[in-house]
Structure 1
């Protein structure tokens, strides 16, 4: 019994070592095509249910201009992604609540969303950055940034509470219901991949 267990363990060990040492097969591409690997991009840089992410590239003859272009493009992309998701959440949330003047409430939510996004985009975290020099002598700057949904929700909640206390617009604001709607929308996004 002992010898067969040792023999079995040895076979499993040899098989796993040989399997892990195999080179990964390259996917054969059509003639004349070659794969381009873009720094700071790929699945690990996709938005998921807990974090909004974006990546971009900027190119210039000046290193700092390349970086500013990349960061600006990346923040724009992140803001668009957040705005689209928050718009869907807001629509679902507003439609599920009873409001006297629905149009005015939706407009206020949209303005609030823009303010929160502008404020939060400034506080994003850089998760990847690469600077390369091209053969033409220009600089390309690649960057990826992220913002957690918790940070976004916290900021949104603070602004929403302030808005709901205004005399002009008494909003029946329920953070837990909004958060639940937000999380459901983020779950849909994660499952869409």
Structure 2
């Protein structure tokens, strides 16, 4: 009698274990036939842009370790530059629209040019958040990098660039610019 009871309990546990393991498999979506999911090692929230930092993650592949690193870093800087320039353009356009005095097309162009120059200078000082390198089956290297730039440093650099231009500085409303810049950064971080 004990053997039958013991066997029944063991059978129940085995059935429970099998049903639990099969539910775990069905919880994750399987990749379509002929495709393999590639995992990005730098994909967590700490690698995404937020209210304080612009961040970008890129990778580079090469048979040379240093070349893979250079490709990834260059791609990362380009992604940061594109994102930042789009935001700076929106800030400058909103700033010009909100000015009480009429801003000429030439002044608008000068504001944007100075802002882009400041962005390019700041891109030289980006910080590496994290980097990882993998050797692939074919012998090549895959290098991942996450880089960031503080938004506050960018704001200061744009303000300083405009302040250095005597003509634009006379008409530059720092408080208005700061307000618009912070609104744009808050909107960006909520995306």
TM-score higher than 0.5 = yes
From the superposition, tell whether residues 34 and 138 of structure 1 become closer, same or farther in structure 2 (CA, over 3 Å): closer
Q: Does 1:54 pair with 2:56? A: yes
Q: Does 1:175 pair with 2:178? A: no
The Cα of 1:98 is off from its aligned counterpart by 3.7
The Cα of 1:170 is off from its aligned counterpart by 5.9
Aligned to 2:123: 121
CA RMSD of aligned residues (A): 2.1
1:59-78 alignment runs, 5 A limit: 59-78=61-80
Aligned to 1:92: 94
Q: 2:76, 2:31 → 1: CA distance?
A: 32
Aligned to 1:191: 190
**Structure 1 unaligned blocks of 5 or more:** 1-24
Aligned to 1:112: 114
Question: Does the aligned pair in 1 maintain the 2:163–2:169 contact within 8 Å?
Answer: no
* Structure with greater Cα Rg: 2
1:43-77, CA deviations, whole angstroms, 9 ceiling, x for partnerless residues? Answer: 32111121111111111111111111100000000
TM-score of the pair, normalised by structure 1: 0.79
Secondary structure of the residue that 2:55 maps to in structure 1? Answer: strand
Secondary structure of the residue that 1:40 maps to in structure 2? Answer: coil
Larger mean Cα displacement after TM superposition, 37-46 or 149-158 = 37-46
Q: 2:180, 2:161 → 1: CA distance?
A: 17
Q: Does 1:37 pair with 2:39? A: yes
Aligned to 1:3: none
Q: 2:145, 2:72 → 1: CA distance?
A: 6
From the superposition, tell whether residues 40 and 63 of structure 1 become closer, same or farther in structure 2 (CA, over 3 Å): same
Pick the structure with more helix per residue: 2
1:4-61, CA deviations, whole angstroms, 9 ceiling, x for partnerless residues? Answer: xxxxxxxxxxxxxxxxxxxxx6523355355432122333211112111111111111
The Cα of 1:108 is off from its aligned counterpart by 0.8
How many residues are aligned here? 167
